[in-house]
Every structure is written in structure tokens, then in C-alpha cells.
């Protein structure tokens, strides 16, 4: 286990384990006074621990900006990733920032990327808050080369905030990972 950063009494760490069927890498934050887990990200599908190190900076930015009382924010994020780390970075960052900046209460919010590349956000009553669709590519473009067409984190953030505020479905690039859950 590798300690990455420490904010007051909050410990962030990354670990990696593998088996014959899959490799799992994870980042988690915990209160080192009570050993209470606050935040966790898991990578599956053979990704490496270096992804945890790379994305730890996102967690540091997120908590330092939004969590004035970090002990009130107990949630878990689980990610099943296929590939495409640039898109993943944009998606994590934009999702968190958009939800917080919109002023929406994130109590029990559920975020899921469906198999049809639709990103949907639900409230605790299982009602959809908004959804994003994938149609940024024209039929003549190669969807497999996402690195040339993905939106920046700022662009995705702006579009997601627009979506939340206006309840309007807009088109978004392919997220090159399989599933995302966000619980608060």
C-alpha cells in the first residue's frame, strides 16, 4: 500500500491486487482516527496501480475545493474501466464539478453510464435528473479513435451544468469505460 497524501486526519492510499481472472486497483480515503472509509475508487479489467497514482490528484483537488467538512461527505465511487484514461479523467472531474456547481443535492444520487453510452443521473426516488447521449461522431468518423475527438473536462462540465439547469438532452462524446456509480 502506498500513502499518497494526507489532509488533516484523512488518509488517501492506493493499492493493487491481481488474481487469475482480473486485476483490481483502488484509491480510498479514510479517517485515520476512526478508520472510517470516506471515499473509494476501484479499477477493474486489468488496469494498473499507476492509474490510481495519476488520478489521486483529482481527489485532492475535489476534496480541497468542495469538502470543507470532509467527515460529512461519505460516499463511494466504483468504476469499471475498459480503456481511455483521458476520457476517464474528464468524466470524473466533470461529473463531480457539475453536480456540485449546479447546487443539486447529491444525497443518494446515483450516476450510471448505460451500455448504450447514455449517462443518467437519478435522485434517491429513482427519478432521472438528467441524461447525456453519445452522438458526437458522424457516421464517417472512427469511433475507436476517441483520443482525437473527446471533449475537454471544461467543455463536458459546461455541457453537464447546462443540462442540469435546462433539463435539455444534448450530445456528448463516447465515455470509453463501462459503468459508473456515485453514491453520497
Is residue 88 domain-shared with residue 175, that is, in the same domain? Answer: yes
pLDDT score, position 38: 52
In whole angstroms, what is the distance from residue 71 CA to residue 31 CA? 8
The residue from 30, 47, 74 where one domain ends is: 74
Distance separating alpha carbons of residues 130 and 147, to the nearest angstrom: 26
Give the torsion sign (CA, 157, 67, 120, 148): positive
Compute the distance between CA of residue 30 and CA of residue 37 in angstroms, rounded to an integer. 4
Number of domains within the chain? 2
What is the pLDDT, as a whole number, of residue 1?
24
Task: Please give the pLDDT value at position 87.
Answer: 39
Distance of CA 139 to the CA centre of its chain: 28
Whether residue 178 sits in one domain with residue 145: yes
> Per-block average pLDDT, block size 10, for the chain (184 residues)?
33 43 48 56 44 45 45 36 39 44 39 45 56 38 40 46 39 28 28
Predicted local confidence at residue 35, as pLDDT: 59
Instruction: Supply the range of the domain harboring residue 114.
Output: 83-184
Domain end, chosen from 48, 74, 100, is at 74
3-state SS assignment for residue 84: coil
Tell me, yes or no, whether 128 and 48 share the same domain.
no
Do 147 and 67 share a structural domain?
no
Give the end of a domain, one of 74, 104, 136: 74
**H or E segment at 90?**
helix 85-101
Whole-structure pTM value: 0.26
Amino acid at each position: 500500500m502506498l500513502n499518497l497524501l494526507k489532509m488533516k486526519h484523512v488518509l488517501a492510499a492506493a493499492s493493487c491486487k491481481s488474481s487469475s481472472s482480473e486485476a483490481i486497483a483502488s484509491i480510498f480515503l479514510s479517517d485515520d482516527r476512526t478508520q472510517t472509509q470516506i471515499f473509494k475508487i476501484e479499477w477493474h479489467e486489468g488496469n494498473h496501480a499507476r492509474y490510481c497514482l495519476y488520478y489521486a490528484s483529482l481527489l485532492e483537488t475535489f476534496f480541497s475545493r468542495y469538502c470543507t467538512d470532509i467527515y460529512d461527505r461519505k460516499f463511494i465511487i466504483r468504476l469499471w474501466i475498459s480503456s481511455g484514461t483521458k476520457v476517464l479523467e474528464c468524466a470524473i472531474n466533470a461529473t463531480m464539478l457539475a453536480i456540485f456547481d449546479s447546487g443539486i443535492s447529491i444525497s443518494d444520487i446515483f450516476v450510471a453510464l448505460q451500455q448504450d453510452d447514455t449517462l443518467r443521473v437519478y435522485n434517491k426516488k429513482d427519478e432521472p435528473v438528467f441524461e447525456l447521449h453519445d452522438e458526437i461522431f458522424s457516421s464517417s468518423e472512427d469511433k475507436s479513435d476517441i483520443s482525437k475527438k473527446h471533449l475537454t473536462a471544461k467543455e463536458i462540465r459546461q455541457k453537464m451544468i447546462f443540462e442540469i439547469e435546462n433539463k435539455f438532452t444534448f450530445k456528448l462524446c463516447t465515455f470509453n469505460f463501462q459503468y459508473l456509480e456515485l453514491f453520497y
